[in-house]
Amino acid sequence: MKIGIMTMHRVQNIGSVLQAYALQRKIEQFGYTAELIDYIFPPIKKDPHSAIRDAFNFGWNVIQGFPNKKKQQKLDAFRKEYLCCSKQSYTRERLLADPPIYDVYCTGSDQVWNPIHVGLDCSFMMDFAPVGAPRIAYASSFATKEVGEPFFSLYAKHLKKYKHITVREQSGVSVVKKMTGKNVSVTCDPTLLLSADEWQPIVDASDMNLPQGYILVYLLRYMFDPRPGFYNIVESVRRALQLPVYQCNPCPADSFVFKVKALNGVGPADFVSIVKNASFIITDSFHGAAFATIFNVPMIGVVKDDLNGDGRIATLRAKVGGENSVVCHNKPLKISPDVSLYRNDSKKASDLRLSSLEELRKMLINKG
| Tens of pLDDT, residues 165-181 | 999 998 999 999 999 99
Q: What integer pLDDT is reported at residue 204 of this predicted model?
A: 97
Q: How confident is the model at residue 293 (pLDDT cuts 50, 70, 90)?
A: very high
- C-alpha to C-alpha distance for 79 and 100, rounded to whole angstroms: 20
Q: What is the CATH number of domain 2-73+80-192+351-365?
A: 3.40.50
Please state, for a pLDDT cut of 70, what percent of the chain lies above it: 90
Cβ atoms of 335 and 237 within 8 Å: the answer is: yes
User: Measured on CA atoms in the order 308, 251, 325, 234, is the torsion positive or negative?
Assistant: negative
pLDDT, tens digit (0-9, with 9 covering 90-100), for 88-146: 999 999 999 999 999 999 999 999 999 999 999 999 999 999 999 999 999 999 988 89
Q: What is the per-residue burial (b if ≥16 Cβ within 10 Å, else e) of 130-140?
A: eeebbbbbbbb
Predicted local distance difference test score (pLDDT) of residue 308: 45
Spans of all domains in the chain = 2-73+80-192+351-365, 203-346
Q: What pLDDT was estimated at residue 229?
A: 85
pLDDT at res. 45: 54
Q: Which long-range contacts (CB under 8 A, 24 or more apart) does 154-161 make?
A: 154/120, 154/122, 155/113, 155/115, 155/122, 155/125, 155/179, 156/180, 158/122, 158/125, 158/126, 158/127, 159/125, 161/126, 161/135
- The answer to whether 135 and 162 are in contact (CB under 8 A) is yes
Least confident of 20-29, 151-160, 359-368: 359-368
- Give the tens place of pLDDT for each residue, 319-330: 999 999 999 988
Rounded CA separation 233/301 (Å): 10
Q: Please state at what angle helix 286-294 crosses helix 268-276, rounded to 10 degrees.
A: 50
pLDDT of the residue at 258: 64
Task: Answer yes or no: is pLDDT of 334 > 60.
Answer: yes
Question: Residue range 241-263: average pLDDT?
Answer: 81
| pTM across the whole model | 0.91
Classify domain 203-346 by CATH number.
3.40.50.2000
- Per-residue pLDDT at 208 exceeds 60: yes
- pLDDT tens digits, one per residue of 42-60: 765 555 555 555 554 545 5
Lowest mean pLDDT among 92-96, 218-222, 343-347, 348-352: 218-222
Least confident of 118-132, 236-250, 298-312: 298-312
